[in-house]
Amino acid sequence: MVTLQDIQKNPELNALIKAANQVLAAIGYTEHGPRHVGYVSHAAAELLRELEYPERTVELAAIAGLIHDVGNSINRVNHGITGATMIYPILRDMGMAPAEIATVISAVGNHEEQNGRPVSPVSAALIIADKSDAHRTRVRRGKFDPTDIHDRVNYSIKKNWVEVDREEKVIRFAMTMDDTSSVMEFFLIYLTRMEMCEQAAALLGCRFDIVINGVTVNNQRSVELARAAIAQASNPAQD
Ligand SMILES: [Fe+2]
Ligand SMILES: [Fe+2]
């Protein structure tokens, strides 16, 4: 069985992770190196562990997290799909079972908001882990550009975390932002990613709450609550 440690030690995959980060640095993107993929690997696995998925599914999420961005070594455009295509023969040569490879490549090939959808628990966990990595440490050292909205938004996020409420079936993405940016700017660049996280949480049977500075800024219960309010207004006697 191919383990997370086997993936971490694979020189070919490590070279591709490094190369992907170099390409993105060259075109001015935020940090996508070992720190980013390490965070995503850990966060995706923790999410499924908290939701009590089998240990091997948890490990496949950790593996997918580590190698989800290698496609950037070719080009940022469609890097989920190119990355999935690149890792197939590497995982096969390492001896991973075809059904497990299929789980990993479909997660990697669907993690971008431009062309991806949550397709499995591993895919959903990868999406939430990847999109929740917004933080000031992602602004490249010495490269902070105050006129760049991505730099401002990332820099303003001092703390971020994902927590799971198993009882209430809620995945909560919480962060603290300072005045370097604003909630509006956060959504200007993260709206489609946050919508993708809502879809991913739904696949895991959960609601996705986005909490910024202690306030829930999306409201996934809105349809349910509006329906209840209308029912009550049309039948006040039952109050
Ligand atoms: Fe990516
Ligand atoms: Fe990523």
Q: What is the pLDDT of residues 180-215, one digit of tens each?
A: 999 999 999 999 999 999 999 999 999 999 999 999
CA of 215 to the centre of ligand 2 (A): 26
pLDDT of the chain, 239 residues: tens digit per residue:
999 999 999 999 999 999 999 999 999 888 888 999 999 999 999 999 999 999 999 999 999 999 999 999 999 999 999 999 999 999 999 999 999 999 999 999 999 999 999 999 999 999 999 999 988 888 877 788 899 999 899 999 999 999 999 999 999 999 999 999 999 999 999 999 999 999 999 999 999 999 999 999 998 888 888 889 999 998 876 55
State the Cα–Cα distance between residues 92 and 56, nearest whole angstrom: 17
Ligand nearest to the CA of 131: 2
> What pLDDT is recorded for position 238?
58
Q: What is the dihedral of CA 188, 192, 193, 199, to 10 degrees?
A: 150
CA of 50 to the centre of ligand 2 (A): 21
CA of 65 to the centre of ligand 2 (A): 8
121, 135, 113: which is closest to 201 by C-alpha? 121
Largest CA distance in the chain: 70
> What pLDDT is recorded for position 230?
92
State the Cα–Cα distance between residues 112 and 81, nearest whole angstrom: 9
What phi and psi, each to the nearest 5 degrees, are found at residue 6? -60, -40
> What pLDDT is recorded for position 29?
85
> What pLDDT is recorded for position 239?
56
Query: What is the CATH code of the structural domain delimited by 4-225?
Result: 1.10.3210
CA of 112 to the centre of ligand 2 (A): 8
State the Cα–Cα distance between residues 13 and 2, nearest whole angstrom: 14
CA of 229 to the centre of ligand 1 (A): 40
Ligand nearest to the CA of 78: 1
Yes or no: say if 67 and 105 are a contact pair by the CB < 8 Å rule: no
